Every structure is written in C-alpha cells, then in structure tokens.
Structure 1
Amino acid sequence: MSTSPSLIVKLLASSVSVANRAGKIVRDVMSKGELGIVEKGKDDYQTEADRSAQKCIIASLSAQYPKINIIGEEDNTDNDVDFPSDWIVTDADREVLLLNCPDNLKSVQEEEIVVWVDPLDGTAEYTQGFLEHVTVLIGISVNEKPIAGVIHQPYYKSIVDGEKKMGRTIWGFQDVGVGGFTLAPPPDSLIITTTRSHSNPLVEKALQVMDASQILRVGGAGYKVLQLLEGKASVYVFASPGCKKWDTCGPEAVLSAAGGKLTDIVGNFYKYSATESKPNKMGVLAAVSEDLHKYALSKIPQELKEALAKK
C-alpha cells in the first residue's frame, strides 16, 4: 500500500512547478520590453519581472501551505493586488513526489518551515542582457538549515525530443540528492567564480590569494553555484556582505545535496530561521566538494577575515 508523500517532499515538488511558472513570467516581461525598473538602492534594482515572479511564487505556495513562513526579496510587493489566475500554480512535479523523505524530516510541520525566495536572482544582468546568469531561487529551511532547494534558469536552452525547450529546473534535497541535471567533476585547474558587479578591494584581495588559473566574473549567486555543479568553476569566492539569505538558501541546499559546501568566508554556516538578519555579512565561500572548500578556506588570510568582520 503506497503512502502519501511527506510535507517536505510535497513542498519541494510544488516549488519545482512554481519555479517553472515564475521563469515563464520572467521571460514574458522581457519579451514585452517594459521592464518597469525601480532602483531600491545603490546598484540594487527591481523590475516588473521580480515583482510578478514573487507574487506567483508566494501566492502559489501560500495557497497550498498556509502556515509556512515565506520570506521574499521584494518585501514591498503588494501580493493582494489582482493578478492573472494562471499565476497560481497548484500542481507538483511528479518525479519529485516519488522521492523518499529522510526519516528526520518526515514529521516536520508547516510552522517549522521557512521558505526563502529570490524571484529573480541577477536583476542587473537581466536588465543588461546577460540572461543566462538569471535564476529563480527557492530555498526550504528547517531548524535554521537549508534542507531542500530549487534553482530555475529561465533562459537555459535545450533540445528535448527534437524540439527546442527554454528553461530548466534543478533541485536538491538533503540526504537524497539532486535532479534536473548531471553533476560534473570540478575542472583540472583552480577556477574561481565571483561577482561581476559588486567588487571592491577586499573582494579582489580574496581572489588574489587563491592563485587561480582563471577568474570568472558573473552575476547571481544561483548562477555561480550552477558553475560549480557543472564543472565550470572550482570555488565561489565573495568576500563582501552584498549577498542575502534568499540568494544562498536554495543554492546552498542544492550544492550540499550534491556533496558540496557553502559557508561564510571564515567557514561558518549561515542560519536560515525567520528571525535571522537577511544580509550574509561575512561573504560567501563555496565549493563542489569538502576538500576544495577546505583548501579555499586555508588560503584566506586571517587579516582578510578580520577586515570583513569589522564591516
């Protein structure tokens, strides 16, 4: 006799489906050419795609899981304003629904879950035409830890059954694994992925000490973690407080499920409870394996760690 999926499995399956729909919204806004750009702060922008994709995600998940705590990047978005009915997604990814839930998560209740949402990670890149950098991020945390996550690429191009397909969705689940792509080994030489739009002397110094053969400067935390998973980079280094919890919760969950590790620049894990401060004040250090993460951590000078701690 088959049993119904656990709450966490259902929530992850729902998140995969709603991320697909949010990605279509992102593409639709771009195709219409009216981005509705608003400057939230210095080098911090919001578009109609950010606002609309967040409405879709929060409304869809709230309708099915009313007691979970959802924290979205666009906190000034009015989710009560009318929007198209097809933005409410109630179906769930069938493959994910078949997953076995780890025993320690089977009894989790809605009230114990915090979902972190970045409806459009890489907004600057979106407005500048670097569309492959853009991702939709959904992270699911329990007891302050990211236990499942979704990274959707709206502009990923592939051929499925002879037909062109736009967009792909990658998921990760603690002690279960990852889906939606094939994990690749890290490159033979040390390749660093880092920010293309939020650099400063501290960031540059952290990169110099790594002695990397190549430094990739790209947008979005989600895209940087994808580069690790796809074997295009070895380590993700960002010695700055510019990232937020919604940038890293989903990607950390996926990376961890793939055997990787994401911490702050001194090697501590971030906490993802609803009461935690949103900025990741101690930067980001991530790698697709424990050994690579340990190596990168050993290269960061103590003076650099102290300088970031003072910021």
Structure 2
Amino acid sequence: MATNPSLVVRLVSASVAISNRAGSIIREIMKAGDLGVVHKDKDKTDPQTEADRKAQRCIVASLAKRFPGVTVIGEEDLSQDDSLIEMKDSEEVLKVKCPDDLKDVKPGEVCIWVDPVDGTTEYTQGFLDHVTVLIGVAVNGKAVGGVIHQPYYNYQAGPGAPMGRTMWGIVGVGCFGCENKDSLGGKRVITTTRSHGTEAVQETIDAMQPDEVLRVGGAGHKVLLLLEGRASAYIFASPGCKKWDTCAPQALLNSMGGKLTDVHGNLYEYHKEVKHRNMGGVIAAARNHEFYVSRVPQSIKDQLPAA
C-alpha cells in the first residue's frame, strides 16, 4: 500500500469496493423477483427500480460517510440509508502511485457522479450484460478517475461461475480490470443506443461509414466495448444522456489514451454547478477520436450546442 494515499486514490479505492456491494444489491433484487418498477416520466420511457434506489442509497451513504466535504450527485433523488454503508477498500488501487497533479486535491474540489444502475431499461428487459454501476470522480470539473462495475459479467457461464467484474482507472495511472483484445480486424464498428435512436443519430452514424453497428444499452456498457477493443467508437448525436452517464466512462477512456467529448470535440466538465444533461451529444473512441468528430455532419453540429 502506498504511504498516505492521496484523496483521489482513496476515492477510487473505496468506489471499487462500494460498486461491488452495489452490484450484489442489484443481483439480490433481481433474484428476489420483484423489481419494484416505477416510472419517472409520463411516457413511461424512464423506469426506476428498487435496484436503482437501494444501490444509490448504498453508494451515496458510503461516500458521504467516508469522505465528508466531497460533493456526490446521483441520478436518483433520494435520501441516503446509513444501514448500507460499505467501508472496504481495494488494496490494488491503494498500491498505485498518484500522479503529481492529483496529489494535493482537497475535498471541496471533488464532485462524484453516480449512476447506480446504468441501463435500467435493459435490466428490466433481461439484457443483463448491458447493466453497469458507474462512479465517476471529477476534480475541478475534470473527470480524473472512475469505476465501471458490471454486475452480470459472466452470468451465462453456468452455475458456480464467478459473476461480475470491476474496471477502474485514474488519468495518469492507467485503466485496469479489462483487456483490450482489439478484435475488430480493421473494421469500423460503431456502438450506439438501442432505445433512443433519432434521425440525427442515424445520419451521424451513416457519415462514419461503419462496417457494423452495435445497438446496446447503457453508456457504461458502450464504453466497455471500446475498452475491450470490440467497438471502434460510441456515437450518440443527441442531448439524451447525463453527466452521471459519462463521468466515469470519460475518466476510464482518458486513462487509457482514449477520449469522450461532445460532437464538437469538447470535453465535458463535471463541477457541481454544471447542467446535468449533456446537450452536445457523445463521441467516444479509444483511438482516432479526431476522425469521428471530423465525420459528424455540420448540420448535426449546428443543432447541438458545444459543451
């Protein structure tokens, strides 16, 4: 273990353990058989489940208890539950050397963005490998660390197989927990939304001239496809997603040399006063990010404000 780990390292270490606990909660609720679905919109396109509620109470209460003075913003508007506090750490994370520019970060400079169940619609529909838990750490508005936990990774492997995995990253340290196998064979594979498509999204994808399009749920899951080398870029030319969807994925991509921006190529900021909606869409890639930004039609860029 590093001597006197920095606040950022301790936050990511705690977030790994907390996300693992949240993943267990998500699986337990699914196994019990009552998801407790309510809808946050009149059109019933934005479901919330008991897994969203209980996992967020666990994450927010744990972070608030352990890191007073740090701002935590979650997708769900809930009170916290101190009975769900997780106090464990990841020894793997605590061993890393903190980059010099992050060593002296103070609690008031940190904002943490939490999506307790990214891919809730997919969770309710049985697309379980699309589901992730996202905890993103931002310092002075910049995404610098994060955790993507996939509670149902390996869930189809059969009885007794270990289930779930956690990826984490710190900019200047690296990205850990998954292997980039680059299985594309030179093909341009685009991943995008499976449930929130628009003409603008499709027009932008067509402009990329992809060899294949993967329509999957959850921003976390889409970025995992990039981290693993199973997709070339994540394209979403629409103002649909929020800061809690992209903070952790942006940090992990940045930590391995990739990039997540709006359609204009601007990085999103994550300070506590920022608007929650990402009005400028998403262009994410593990490499060649500039190419994808350059292929966004100007007419689409004119429709979406810059971050």
Q: TM-score, normalised by structure 2?
A: 0.95
Q: Report deviation, 1:309.
A: 3.4
Measure, in 2, the Cα distance between the counterparts of 1:38 and 1:196: 21
Do residues 239 (structure 1) and 237 (structure 2) align? yes
Identity %: 52
State the match for 2:24 in structure 1.
Answer: 24
Measure, in 2, the Cα distance between the counterparts of 1:147 and 1:250: 8
Deviations along 1:110-160, whole A, 9 cap, x unmatched?
A: 11110000000000000000000000000000011000000000000189x
State the match for 1:114 in structure 2.
Answer: 111
Alpha carbons 1:236, 1:284 under 8 Å: kept: yes
Q: TM-score, normalised by structure 1?
A: 0.93
Q: Name the amino acid aligned to 1:52.
A: K
Query: Aligned ranges for residues 32-71 of structure 1 at < 5 Å?
Result: 32-41=32-41, 42=43, 43-71=45-73
SS of 1:136's partner is strand
SS of 1:114's partner is strand
Query: Aligned ranges for residues 76-91 of structure 1 at < 5 Å?
Result: 77-80=78-81, 85=83, 87-91=84-88
Alpha carbons 1:186, 1:234 under 8 Å: kept: no
Deviations along 1:47-87, whole A, 9 cap, x unmatched?
A: 00000000000111111101100000001x1225xx7x3x2
Alpha carbons 2:144, 2:170 under 8 Å: kept: yes
Deviations along 1:25-68, whole A, 9 cap, x unmatched?
A: 00011111111111112411110000000000011111110110
State the match for 2:214 in structure 1.
Answer: 216
State the match for 2:291 in structure 1.
Answer: 295
Do residues 137 (structure 1) and 144 (structure 2) align? no
Q: Report deviation, 1:3.
A: 2.0
Distance 1:17 1:2, change over 3 A: closer
Do residues 172 (structure 1) and 172 (structure 2) align? no
State the match for 1:96 in structure 2.
Answer: 93
Measure, in 2, the Cα distance between the counterparts of 1:303 and 1:45: 32
Q: Which structure shows the bigger proportion of residues in strand conformation?
A: 1
Measure, in 2, the Cα distance between the counterparts of 1:88 and 1:309: 39
Q: CA RMSD for the aligned pairs? A: 1.9
State the match for 1:123 in structure 2.
Answer: 120
Alpha carbons 1:183, 1:258 under 8 Å: kept: no
Q: Name the amino acid aligned to 2:9.
A: V
Q: Report deviation, 1:211.
A: 0.6
Structure 1: segments with no counterpart, 5+ residues? none
SS of 1:157's partner is coil
1:276 equivalent among 274, 277, 287? 274
Measure, in 2, the Cα distance between the counterparts of 1:168 and 1:105: 26
Alpha carbons 2:2, 2:95 under 8 Å: kept: no
